């Protein structure tokens, strides 16, 4: 009997989000899986939101991305931010369920595959240092570390910094979110040379308006990056 099998006798693998037993580590039980809105099928090539219709092989865009300038080329999300996906994101963010980063990064890696380019550098959206002290870890950095490893790409956890405390984006209108984030992110002065001439993959736990990704992408482009892709664990969709 292998170590894994022996451990499973003592600690049978448990569903990530309930007490049900499952057959593999880091999995969801059938009921929780059905409650988790993973994004599949045709998606907006800019933000990853599901679109009606069939995949045509050419990039399609949602209404938001047709009206808001996106300073990045492609974007994907693993899940819609609702039901069990919302619980997973909040548990990773506030509940100290760091173990969720491993399955979440596998889901992220899967949806990121069409965006991966050789020589790409991976970086998380940073927390303000005050919030980092309070929370002790940046959930986006947990995800970006694991995704970079799975994709065999360079990872730079402190590529970006928050220039000022932007407060919560919650309760702000879409325009308010963009205004609040404008120029709030910058390249770390000692990391600035790492993006020149490269593609950058930016990772965050949640994408709502896209204002944070836009600020991060603009900072990377200002530093000479030649292309930006964005990746979120969960996408807030208006009608989801
Ligand atoms: Zn379950
Ligand atoms: Zn879109």
Q: What are phi and psi of 186, to 5 degrees?
A: -145, 160
In total, the chain counts a number of residues equal to: 240
Cα 27 to middle of ligand 1, angstroms:
9
Cα 124 to middle of ligand 1, angstroms:
29
Q: Residue 151 contacts by C-beta under 8 Å, 6 or more apart in sequence?
A: 109, 112, 116, 120, 122
Q: What is the reported pLDDT for 240?
A: 55
Its pTM stands at 0.92
Q: What is the reported pLDDT for 128?
A: 78
Q: What is the reported pLDDT for 119?
A: 95
Q: Going from the first residue of the chain to its last (240 residues), give the mean pLDDT of each consecutive group of 10, the final group possibly shorter.
A: 68 88 88 96 96 90 94 97 96 87 96 96 90 85 97 97 81 86 90 95 96 96 97 87
Q: Which ligand is nearest to the CA of 21?
A: 1
Cα 148 to middle of ligand 1, angstroms:
28
Cα 23 to middle of ligand 2, angstroms:
36
Cα 125 to middle of ligand 1, angstroms:
29
Q: Which two tokens stand for residue 221?
A: 């482009």
Q: Is 49 helix (H, G, I), strand (E, B) or coil?
A: coil
Q: Which ligand is nearest to the CA of 22?
A: 1
Q: Which two tokens stand for residue 11?
A: 């600690």
CA-to-CA separations, 195 to 58, 107, 123, in angstroms, rounded? 28, 26, 10
Cα 174 to middle of ligand 2, angstroms:
14
Q: Which ligand is nearest to the CA of 232?
A: 2
Q: Residue 102 contacts by C-beta under 8 Å, 6 or more apart in sequence?
A: 26, 146
CA-to-CA separations, 209 to 110, 155, 165, 184, 193, in angstroms, rounded? 23, 25, 18, 15, 29
Q: What is the reported pLDDT for 165?
A: 77
């Amino acid at each position: 009997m292998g170590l894994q099998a022996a451990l499973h006798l003592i600690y049978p693998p448990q569903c990530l989000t309930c007490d049900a037993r499952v057959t593999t580590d880091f999995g969801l039980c059938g009921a929780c899986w059905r409650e988790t809105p993973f994004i599949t099928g045709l998606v907006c090539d800019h933000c990853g939101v599901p679109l009606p219709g069939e995949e045509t092989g050419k990039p399609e865009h949602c209404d938001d991305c047709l009206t808001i300038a996106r300073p990045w080329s492609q974007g994907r999300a693993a899940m819609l931010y609702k039901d069990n996906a919302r619980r997973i994101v909040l548990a990773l963010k506030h509940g100290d369920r760091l173990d969720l980063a491993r399955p979440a990064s596998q889901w992220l890696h899967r949806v990121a595959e069409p965006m991966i380019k050789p020589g790409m550098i991976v970086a998380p959206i940073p927390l303000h240092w005050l919030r980092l002290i309070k929370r002790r870890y940046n959930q986006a950095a947990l995800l970006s570390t694991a995704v970079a490893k799975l994709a065999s790409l360079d990872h730079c956890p402190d590529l970006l910094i928050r220039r000022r405390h932007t407060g919560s984006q919650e309760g702000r209108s879409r325009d308010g979110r963009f205004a609040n984030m404008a120029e709030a992110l910058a390249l770390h002065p000692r990391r600035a040379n790492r993006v020149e001439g490269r593609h950058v993959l930016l990772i965050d736990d949640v994408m709502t308006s896209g204002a944070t990704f836009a600020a991060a992408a603009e900072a990377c482009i200002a530093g000479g990056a030649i292309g930006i892709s964005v990746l979120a664990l969960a996408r807030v969709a208006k009608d989801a």
